[in-house]
Amino acid sequence: MQLPKIKNGLSIGIMGGTFDPIHLGHLVIAEEVRIQFKLDKVIFVPTGHPPHKPAAGVTNPEHRYLMTVLATMNNPYFTVSRVEIDCLKGTTYTIDTIRFFKEYFGGDVNLYFITGADAIMEITSWKDYKELVSICHFIAATRPGYTLKKVKDTIRKKCPEVLEQISVLEIPAMQISSTLIRERVRAGKPIKYLTPDSVTAYIYKNGLYRDVSHKV
């Protein structure tokens, strides 16, 4: 993997996601990126109302925010932002979040947006994607079924001009997903070791994923 050139100033990773719920796969990716890219901080940003998912199918933002806080509180390099919940009203887009942090940290900051390989392969469908890649570097974490070659070939075919602004990082294969966790809770199956114990306890205490009462 070829690392991007680092300018002077802070290097901040932005990890956006629904986090419904956050799981160990998210944490492994964030820590691996932090180490390999020598980031000063990784900011987890739970989405407000993501454009690719219907609001009725996403858990209330407060629950998702609190679970993310619980999952990251023991890592001094991790923090959680409420920007998409409190500051960006309506449907939230990555470009708006990146613009916010660019202004917040100032011109010398190096921003890295951390996402999955499956998402990055659809980057041309993102709002203002050309501006996005001009103000931050993208890190695509591979998941099972997405090889480095497949990801790079897809990006090269769709938008070769942004290839230099995207790094693809191989992460130890972990067959964990938020969907899997929700399905296991509904089926009454254990989720221990899929997400931090504090998040597991929160899910059971608040009765999440057993019915639709917690939805927005």
Give 163-209 pLDDT, tens digit per residue.
Answer: 889 998 888 656 789 999 999 999 999 999 999 999 999 999 999 99
Please determine, for residue 110, whether its predicted confidence score (pLDDT) is greater than 50: yes
Most confident range, picked from 4-13, 47-56, 136-145, 195-204 = 195-204
pLDDT at 29: 94
For residue 1, what pLDDT band results from cuts at 50, 70 and 90? very low
3-class SS at 192? Answer: strand
Give 63-79 pLDDT, tens digit per residue.
Answer: 999 999 999 999 999 99
pLDDT at 149: 83
Please determine, for residue 90, whether its predicted confidence score (pLDDT) is greater than 80: no
Three-point CA angle 74, 10, 38, nearest 5°? 60
What is the rounded CA–CA span in Å between residue 145 and residue 173? 9
What is the rounded CA–CA span in Å between residue 37 and residue 168? 12
Contact 155, 121 (CB under 8 A): yes
Please determine, for residue 212, whether its predicted confidence score (pLDDT) is greater than 80: no
pLDDT at 15: 97
pLDDT at 215: 46
If you average pLDDT over every residue of the chain, what do you get? 88
What is the rounded CA–CA span in Å between residue 103 and residue 53? 27
End-to-end CA distance of the chain: 40
What is the rounded CA–CA span in Å between residue 176 and residue 25? 6
What is the rounded CA–CA span in Å between residue 90 and residue 111? 24
pLDDT at 49: 74
Please determine, for residue 5, whether its predicted confidence score (pLDDT) is greater than 80: no
Q: What are phi and psi of 45, to 5 degrees?
A: -125, 95
Could you tell me the domains of the chain? 11-205 (3.40.50.620)
Three-point CA angle 172, 173, 177, nearest 5°? 120
Three-point CA angle 166, 148, 36, nearest 5°? 60
pTM summary value: 0.89
- In the chain, what percentage of residues exceed pLDDT 90? 62
